Structure 1
């Protein structure tokens, strides 16, 4: 079992975490105080003990908890994997693994560390235990990683610009959801855009998003400048403002990472 665990989680971001086709939760964290990379084994044992003593009726028995340090990677600072190994079907010799990633944007500073983003692919009840430990142990706060409408718009624009007309992505539709707080009796509007229409609009003078809003106003008389983009669904990823993310293709990882780093930096500036 331990050998399986060691071979599953290495030191590479790509090899250690199945990013694709899984829903992930994004959590925002304030800086950690009294955190030391030399104490990762201690943190692992402490969290493992807490999980074992916590009633988690939907989960099997936990066998291992491991915190692994990841070297700076593609503009990120040192990050930390939190891996959890649970007993699975004993007749098949299988175990169940869950993973979180503490994302750092900078190197350590004296007395505290910044891990502004936690990306998790674990059951909600286990995530709550993890967050309780992190916030109490390191005097931190946790909150949903809510993405602003402007950040989603930037992400949408980056995706549209990245689509190669010669690939299958050019044929895949976009689905955009807008919140309609200013329109009485209407909570949200979902807009579908054909892939070929997306390519046509992006080449026009206004650009894709401004051209789309102008077209929608002409068709509906609704001013989309007053609405908030809250969800994007495309060939590469699905992301929503409340901090839910699904990456569908490896080529989109850099775009997503760039936007998340931008949001995290904004938050840390607000806190400081």
Structure 2
């Protein structure tokens, strides 16, 4: 059953239905929604139809899919929208310099949420997607954000069990903490086949006006040809450029 929402309220049940969709789902039959939510079939059917009426779900042959109305709502999220508008020129410049997959990510709980992803014809086969999430501990963006978080939050993340996504995923808290301390010293985070086999990544945090990271920028490529250390100056320049833009906009308010 999908967790997190209050199943005693209509709103909670509706949110549970929406959150039953996973990254790889295109269409879900009613039976699958019932199974994943744990709600009664009649309840799922009624609420799904109300979500269709409000353009949050589409009803098509075979079941339901998420509707474009959700995308419209997501694009109204003020922080991510303004951040993306400021970041896009730097992400595009970074892609032109590297011709590798470029990401912009923010922290949401213990995960990275990808706000933007730019990749060309030879982009890496990465598990990331715009709007998707991956745990902080196994991504370069996540390490960049986690390293500069407050000590209490870092301890909280390191104290929880970490799933080994690949043979190279670092799940030992002591080793990961040492890496995070190094990120604080250098301002650069690396990932080598920790979130998915065959991928390497380098990231830099983007600081806000309070010297806390509001996002991070990364470049990702296949280990067969990608050397993350060679991309450090470009990633750092993109992150510093976005920081300057954020600071300038704050001064003009």
TM over 0.5: no
| TM-score normalised according to structure 1 size | 0.27
Query: Which one has a bigger Cα radius of gyration?
Result: 1
Of structures 1 and 2, the one with the larger relative CO (CA 8 A, separation 6+) is 1
Greater helix share, structure number: 2
